Amino acid sequence: MDISRSLSKRISFFSLLFLPLFYAAHAEFNIATIPFNKGYYPLFGDNNVVRSSDDKSVNLVLNQYTGSGFKSSDLYNHGFFSAKIKLPSDYTAGIVVAFYTSNGDIFEKTHDELDFEFLGNIRGKRWRFQTNVYGNGSTSRGREERYYLWFDPSKEFHRYSILWTNNNIIFYIDEVPIREIVRSEAMGGDFPSKPMSLYATIWDASNWATSGGKYKVNYKYSPFVAKFTDLALHGCAVDPIQEVLSTSCSQKDDQLESADYASISPKQRSAMKKFRQKYMYYSYCYDIIRYPIAPPECVIDPVERRQFKDTGRLDFSVRRHRHDKSKGQVSRMRTYEDQDED
């Protein structure tokens, strides 16, 4: 049997096991969406930013000439940024699709940023992605986490969302929270605090994206297309300079913090914990070589901690043992795959 096909089937089997867990977490959010021209404009590679006739969807294309991207027309002081995304299919090694907020074009040395970054894929492998949090230019104190997806994001659309309030940050996939950062005084300026724009991009990151740059973009498979639809922007649009002195967004902040996606229900929290235990393979909170003392926002989960080496990466020697023969084969397959992608 073809190895990649066998591996893909096994991954699909594991995904089916966990689907009820994740999608029982919460009903679909009630989100108002907007057409592209009401909230966004092309950022680069204009000819590769392809809008639908009804302007409710947009494709970002990477070919041998250029990538592409779009950006929100306004900056927002806190917000809920969301889109349904379908990633490129087939061989996509070396390609990064990013959905993120940033103000780096205005505050070059003290920028804030919140990221989803999808890190390219090789047929038969599980898709990997990372989330990042930077505040006040704290790139030397990056707060990266890396995970596997429990589904193939190139097969159908899934909603990816970033909630950013004065008190917390939550990353969602569909209605499942996968990461929460609660603001604390000890974080100081490392908690993003300045107005940010929403960005979406596709680009060639062959030098680092897939297995540390081992696998490059192969333009034989181009064009690579990332599809976006059901775009949502909820927050207070501001002037970034005036906002430093203004508190006019307090009403919008109150509305944002009272929305259904602004708090995590017990079911959602349980789903988030299980996601992190099963699919997170790097966390800065457990990287004691980089951070001998965990950053103040880290909540150390003893169960999670036992799974990680001092580098913050999974410790395969403590992976869950399988006792029957068929499950043992799947366990060995997954361990080999994880090691191969480090």
In the chain the domains, ranked by start, together with CATH numbers, are 36-321 (2.60.120.200)
pLDDT for position 245: 44
Instruction: Report pLDDT for 241.
Output: 66
**Which H helix or E strand runs over 235?**
strand 224-238
Catalytic hit among 108, 113, 185, 257: 113
pLDDT score at 22: 55
Answer yes or no: are the C-beta atoms of 143 and 116 closer than 8 Å. Answer: no
pLDDT for 56 equals 97
The segments of the chain whose pLDDT lies below 50 read 1-14, 16, 243, 245, 319-342
Strand order in the sheet with 113-118: 40-44, 68-72, 197-204, 95-102, 113-118, 128-134, 145-148, 280-287, 311-313
Specify the pLDDT at position 125.
87
d(CA 313, CA 281) in angstroms, rounded, equals: 6
Per-residue pLDDT, 3: 43
Active site residue 304: no
Quote the pTM value: 0.86
- Residue 321 phi, psi dihedral angles, 5° rounding: -80, 145
d(CA 83, CA 236): 18
Catalytic residue among 117, 145, 243, 297: 117
Active site residue 341: no
